[in-house]
């Protein structure tokens, strides 16, 4: 059965910055946005990462998110699938890795992030634009070798070697299984 995520969610939310609870004044200091995605047919075949909006009393000018004349501010990010194998069958699992970008799409360090002061936000709109990278890459270095039509999984010491590092051996490869159970020799196309 294929996993189902919330399909009736709204991509827009109005968040009160200040409120009083039991006589105590409260102020939002951080909003964490969960970025979730599905890569396979099983309910565990999903991964997530996050983006953050930070709200402070004061910020140095260079850290303040800018607003346009319409009262909107946008920050950007890119998510990329990182693949690896897991378990005795060397089944493909994927991790969602999200990084901040500038408006031109240049990837930076850290998760998608923006910061604002309390006085900047009332009546304003903050948007996040996330894109998915066109290529996947191995989650762990020196475990896969790039070949013309994909990636081949290094054998390691033997098939039971769960780490399976290449250690300079770029001739001995192992098979693996896709999330749906299909046996493969090359990722992502499965067969050479």
- My answer on whether 64 and 155 are in the same domain is no
Residue 78: other Cβ atoms inside 10 A: 20
Domain termination residue (choose one: 95, 110, 132): 132
- My answer on whether 118 and 176 are in the same domain is no
- My answer on whether 85 and 171 are in the same domain is no
Q: Could you give the number of structural domains in the chain?
A: 2
Q: How confident is the model at residue 161, as a pLDDT?
A: 81
Query: What's the rounded mean pLDDT across residues 58-86?
Result: 91
Q: Is the whole model's pTM more than 0.75, yes or no? A: yes
- My answer on whether 106 and 151 are in the same domain is no
Query: What's the rounded mean pLDDT across residues 56-71?
Result: 88
- CA dist 54 and 59 (Å) reads 10
User: Is residue 34, in this structure, part of any structural domain at all?
Assistant: yes
User: Is residue 5, in this structure, part of any structural domain at all?
Assistant: no
The phi-psi region of residue 62 (left if phi > 0; otherwise alpha if psi is between -120 and 50; otherwise beta) is alpha
CB of 28 within 8 A of CB of 14?
A: no
- My answer on whether 119 and 150 are in the same domain is no
78 is in which domain, residue-wise?
18-132
In the predicted model, is pLDDT for residue 1 greater than 70? no
User: Is residue 176, in this structure, part of any structural domain at all?
Assistant: yes
Strand partners, 26: 19
Residues 6+ apart with CB under 8 A from 3: 38, 41, 42, 43, 45, 46
């Amino acid at each position: 059965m294929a996993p189902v995520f919330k399909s009736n969610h709204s991509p827009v939310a109005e968040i009160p910055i200040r409120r009083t609870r039991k006589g105590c004044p409260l102020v939002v200091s951080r909003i964490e946005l969960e970025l979730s995605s599905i890569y396979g047919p099983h309910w565990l075949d999903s991964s997530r990462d996050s983006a953050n909006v930070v709200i402070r009393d004061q910020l140095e000018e260079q850290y303040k998110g800018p607003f346009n004349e319409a009262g909107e501010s946008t920050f950007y990010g890119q998510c990329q699938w990182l693949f690896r194998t897991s378990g005795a069958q060397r089944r493909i699992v994927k991790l969602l890795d999200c990084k901040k970008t500038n408006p031109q799409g240049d990837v930076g360090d850290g998760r998608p992030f923006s910061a604002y002061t309390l006085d900047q936000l009332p009546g304003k709109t903050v948007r996040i634009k996330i894109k998915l990278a066109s290529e996947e890459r191995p989650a762990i270095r020196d475990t896969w070798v790039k070949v013309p039509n994909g990636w081949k999984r290094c054998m390691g010491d033997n098939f039971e070697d769960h780490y399976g590092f290449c250690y300079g051996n770029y001739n001995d490869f192992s098979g693996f299984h896709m999330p749906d159970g299909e046996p493969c020799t090359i990722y992502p196309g499965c067969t050479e």
